Amino acid sequence: PKTSMAWFQRGNVMFRDRKFQEAEQNFLKADPYVLTKLQWSEFHFKLGYAQFMNGKNESALVSFAKTKDIESPYRGPAYYYAGHIHYASQQWESALGMFEQIQDQKAFSKVVPLYIAQIYYRQQRYEELIGYVKPLADTLKGATALAVFRMMAESEFKMGHYAAALK
């Protein structure tokens, strides 16, 4: 257990220093089964993030999955990065499921609506996009608002609602 904790702590130092190759190597030498629940969540999130930063998306998804079921500060970010990986791989339904889990969390409220709207748009689910975006219209700001409103107008147009598309 002491050796595992040492590898875990060394991985944390490398992670903090943004040395993700070294962080991943150190985390992989630790035994997560000797950790507390919170440490388990931290371990798997940071391992997953290091794997993500090292271009190992499939491994990262496995690590993030081990974090998502534990209530901790790492749960929301694990859903976010897993959603991002699925989104980048055009796995729309998987990405949507991840983003829906965190859409009401303040930390993600500025970026997740854009992901969800883009997924609906790419799937040509125009009515769902409009229904999702309209209640959020007053809360969106800046570039996110512009992108979402553009998709909403294009969706209205593609559905033949030309007058609504001009609003």
| 144/118: higher pLDDT | 118
Cα-based angle 148, 87, 126 (whole degrees, multiple of 5) = 40
Mean pLDDT value across the chain: 94
User: What's the pLDDT score for residue 11?
Assistant: 98
* pLDDT the model gives residue 163: 85
Residue-level pLDDT at 73: 96
Give the model confidence (pLDDT) of 87-136 as tens digits: 999 999 999 999 999 999 999 988 999 999 999 999 999 999 999 998 88
Half-sphere exposure of 128 (CA within 13 A, CB side): 12
**Tokens (6 digits) for 50:** 């290091």
- pTM of the model as a whole: 0.91
| pLDDT band for position 143 (cuts 50, 70, 90) | confident
- pLDDT-derived band of residue 166, with 50, 70 and 90 as boundaries? confident
Angle between helices 75-88 and 57-65 in degrees, nearest 10: 150
Q: Are 105 and 81 in contact (CB under 8 A)?
A: no
Residues 79 and 51 sit within 8 Å (Cβ to Cβ): no
Q: For 74-81, what is the mean pLDDT?
A: 98
